[in-house]
Amino acid sequence: MKKNNYKNIAKDVIQKEIDGLKKLKTSIGKSFDQVIKTILGCKNGKVIVSGVGKSGIISKKWAATFSSTGTPSFFLDASHASHGDMGQINSTDVVILISLSGSSSELKNIIQYCSRNRSIKLIGITSNKQSVLYKNSDVKILIPNVQEAGPGNFVPTSSTTNQLALGDSIAITCMIAKKFGKLDFKKYHPSGSLGIKLRTVGDIMLTGKKVPFVSENITMKNALKIISDKGLGVLLVRKNKNVTGILVDGDIKRISRKINDFQKLKIKTVMKKNPLSVEKDMLAAKALEIMNTNRITSLCVHKDKKKKRTIGVIHIHNILNANIS
Contacts of 108 (CB under 8 A, 6+ apart): 132
Tell me if the domain spanning 201-321 has CATH number 3.10.580.10. yes
Residue 285's nearest CA partner among 312, 241, 320 is 320
Q: Quote the pLDDT of residue 135.
A: 95
The boundaries of every CATH 3.40.50.10490 domain in the chain are: 3-180
Within the chain, where are the H helices? 6-27, 30-40, 54-68, 78-81, 105-116, 132-136, 158-177, 182-187, 192-197, 201-204, 220-230, 249-258, 284-294, 316-321
Positive/negative CA dihedral, 95, 100, 102, 103: negative
CATH topology of domain 3-180: Rossmann fold (3.40.50)
Residue 190 has what pLDDT? 67
Q: Which residues contact 202 (CB under 8 A, 6 or more apart)?
A: 280, 281, 301, 312
Rounded Cα distance between 133 and 125, Å, is: 8
Task: Give the angle 22-26-28 at the CA atoms, nearest 5°.
Answer: 120
* Domain(s) of CATH 3.10.580.10: residues in the chain: 201-321
- pLDDT number for residue 127: 95
- Beta-carbon count within 10 A of 28 CB: 12
| Residue 212 contacts residue 232 (beta carbons within 8 Å) | yes
| pTM for the model | 0.71
Q: What is the residue-level pLDDT of the chain in tens, covering all 325 positions?
A: 556 689 999 999 999 999 999 999 999 999 999 999 999 999 999 999 999 999 999 999 999 999 989 999 999 999 888 888 888 999 999 999 999 999 988 899 999 999 998 899 999 999 999 999 999 999 999 999 999 998 888 899 999 999 999 999 999 999 999 998 777 777 776 666 777 778 889 989 999 888 889 999 899 889 888 888 888 888 999 888 788 899 888 888 888 888 888 888 889 888 889 889 999 989 898 999 999 999 988 999 988 776 668 889 999 988 888 888 7
**C-alpha to C-alpha distances, 210 to 200, 235, 314, nearest whole angstrom:** 18, 11, 11
Could you give the C-alpha distances from 324 to 151, 197, 201, 286, in angstroms and in order? 47, 7, 11, 10
